[in-house]
Amino acid sequence: MHLIPDRGFQHPVPSEITPRDLALNRRQWLAAAGAAAVALPAAAQTPRPGKLAALPGAPSAVPGASTVEKITAYVHASTYNNFYEFGTDKSDPARYAHTLKTRPWTVSVEGEVARPGRFDIDALMKLAPMEERVYRLRCVEGWSMVIPWVGWSLAELIRRVEPTGNAKFVQFVTLADRAQMPGLSSSVLDWPYVEGLRLDEAMHPLTMLAFGMYGEVMPNQNGAPVRLVVPWKYGFKSGKSLVAIRFVQARPKTSWEVAAPHEYGFYSNVNPRVDHARWSQATERRIGDDGGLLARRRPTLMFNGYEPQVGQLYAGMDLRKFF
């Protein structure tokens, strides 16, 4: 196995890594889960926690946009985060992100588009009707949540800026301000944080710009005032606190690719059959489940359970090579 230098980011402890021979039979689990889902009622709009300003959204009509699984409690979703600009410990973002100033804020749209421009955040929020979408979130470290996001499909913005024929990929650039983000003093990553999608992935109706969660504006620690949410990919693909969206011809290098290219590929699709270089991805621990760290792990679903919606995007691809 190729070993890469430790750049200071945290890795799962051994107790969170499930041996291969203990992974449950995925096919049997999927059959049981599908039968159970049929009996569950449609998801209702999520009650507000009463922490921040209201940002309601109508339940989305996009196929697959709202799972009926139990929603993770707000207290967990807002305090157990990866946002390395505020520190590498899961509790650091909630502790330090109060320094983030989300007004004034603009997002620039650049590159291979007919209508580039700079959007004020409040104008951007009004570009399309707000929707609530209850998505699974699966992180590469082996934990997961179910979160009701508020926003709309990124495709709404893409259509308005009119990509040219040269636009093949979309690059997302996040804020990097040392005055507001204490984690930037760390060399764990090269700043600013950069992510990317193929244009067809970015145009998929499940890919969204999120401005809030749980019926309220986005908490700073979760990526205020606007973040990307790509539910079939590992969580680090969904860049937080976006300041630029660039349409480019060549595939952009992403932050985790640069930091650890043998561990983090460009696609980063949730795939239980492709392990991380140092641990299995076959199972996951749902944050908030009874039992805490000792809670029984559950099988990880292909494309995080969104295979019927997005599997065709990768037809014919070697998903071990393009991981």
Report residue 30's pLDDT band, with 50, 70 and 90 as the boundaries.
very low
Return d(Cα 301, Cα 283) in angstroms, integer.
8
**Does residue 243 carry a pLDDT above 50?**
yes
**Does residue 7 carry a pLDDT above 50?**
no
Residue 44 has what pLDDT? 53
Domain boundaries, the chain: 14-314
b or e along 284-311 (b: 16 or more beta carbons within 10 Å of the residue's beta carbon)? bbbbbbeeeeeeebebbbbbbbbbebbe
CATH superfamily of 14-314: Oxidoreductase, molybdopterin-binding domain (3.90.420.10)
What value does the mean pLDDT take over residues 284-290? 91
Nearest to 219 by CA among 57, 44, 100: 100
Return d(Cα 183, Cα 62) in angstroms, integer.
36
Structure tokens at 59: 């339940």
Return d(Cα 154, Cα 205) in angstroms, integer.
7
Residues 135-170 have pLDDT tens digits of 999 999 999 999 999 999 999 999 999 999 999 999
Largest CA distance in the chain: 53
Report the 10 Å Cβ neighbour count for 273. 11
Whole-model pTM? 0.86
Structure tokens at 123: 């104008």
Nearest to 247 by CA among 106, 115, 156: 115
Whether residue 295 contacts residue 158, with contact meaning beta carbons closer than 8 Å, is answered with no
> How far is CA 129 from each of CA 68, 112, 116, 188, 216, rounded to the nearest angstrom?
22, 26, 22, 38, 15
